[in-house]
Each structure stands twice: as C-alpha cells, then as structure tokens.
Amino acid sequence: MIHKPQPDEHAPYAAGYIGLVDTTDVIGLLEQTKDLTYKLFSGMSNEQAMHSYAEGKWNLKQMLGHIIDTERVFSFRAFVFSRESVELPGFDQDVYVNNTDFNKRTIQNLALEYKAVREATLFLYRSFTDDQLLRMGVASNHPVSVRALVYMTAGHELHHLKIIKEKYL
C-alpha cells in the first residue's frame, strides 16, 4: 500500500492526475490498467488507430506513444529520486511526439511496447522501500516525491483513457 502524496510533494498540475487515483493499491491499479490498455490498443486496426477526433489533435497511435513516453519519464524520475536528490529537466510532450513517427509503426507493435514498459515500471515501483517512496527530487522546476511519481503514472494513464473513451471511441 502506497499512501497518496501530500500537495507539497508534487507540482500543482500533478494534482489532477493524482486525484484520479481513488485507491491506495496504486500498484494493483497499474496492473489492471496494463491489461485494459493493452487489450484496447492491440484490438484496434491500424486504420482505427490513425483516428484523431479533431484537426491538430493526436491520433490514437500518437496518444499511445505519448503514454509510453510519459511513463518512461515518470519512472526514470522515480528511479533517480529513489537513489539521490537531484534536479532533472522537464520534457515537452509535443516535442517528444513530433520527434518520432509513431504512425509508421503498427498499433500492435506499440501495444506490445506499452506492455513491456509497464511491466518494467511495475518491477521498479514494487522494489521501492517505504523510505525510498518518500524521497524527493526536482523535476520541471518543482519538488516531487517518488510516491507522487507512482501516482502520477497511474493518473496520467487514467486521464488519457478517459479522453479516449469520450472523444475517440
């Protein structure tokens, strides 16, 4: 059980992600969403995955690529901060999506990558001690705890699953 982080453990924007997590079994939630998200995307055709709900918005391949990128960033930050208190730079999600071509890949390939990244994230997050979960670093010019990053990982995915259900499917 990992208790929710306090407001001083994360940037204000992260409260939106953390607030979507309504359980202290955040590891269990990450396991559940791994299966749900994998099934959702691996069951799509490439044509369906190229769908965007509006001009200038990401298509579903790009959305999944963004989820993968963000999980890597959050889990890297959690790994680093669990070992040392340092400052890490921010990342611009649009730059990351624009500097790769998720559309050249199949949606099944992206879904497999998502699943592999999530499994690696789960191994890492399960390894943290209570002390490590409370350790802090700075990311994007804001203090953040390891446990906040765990919750942010889960909440970020829930945020995008909600958008997908409301606007794409």
Task: Convert the pLDDT of each residue in 126-160 to its tens digit.
Answer: 999 999 999 999 999 999 999 999 999 999 999 99
Q: Which residue has the tokens 């990351």?
A: 96
CATH no. for 7-168: 1.20.120.450
Residue 45 has pLDDT above 90, yes or no: yes
Domain range summary for the chain, segments of one domain joined by + = 7-168
Q: How many CA atoms lie within 13 A of 42 on its CB side?
A: 12
Among residues 23, 38, 67, 40, which one has the least CA distance to residue 156?
67
> Quick one: average pLDDT of 97-106?
97
Question: With the C-alpha atoms ordered 148, 151, 153, 158, is the resulting torsion angle positive or negative?
Answer: negative
Task: Convert the pLDDT of each residue in 63-92 to its tens digit.
Answer: 999 999 999 999 999 999 999 999 999 999
pLDDT value at position 114? 98
Q: Are strands 142-145 and 87-88 parallel, antiparallel or unpaired?
A: unpaired
Grouping H, G, I as helix, E, B as strand and the rest as coil, residue 138 is strand
pLDDT value at position 169? 87
Whether pTM > 0.95 for this model: the answer is yes
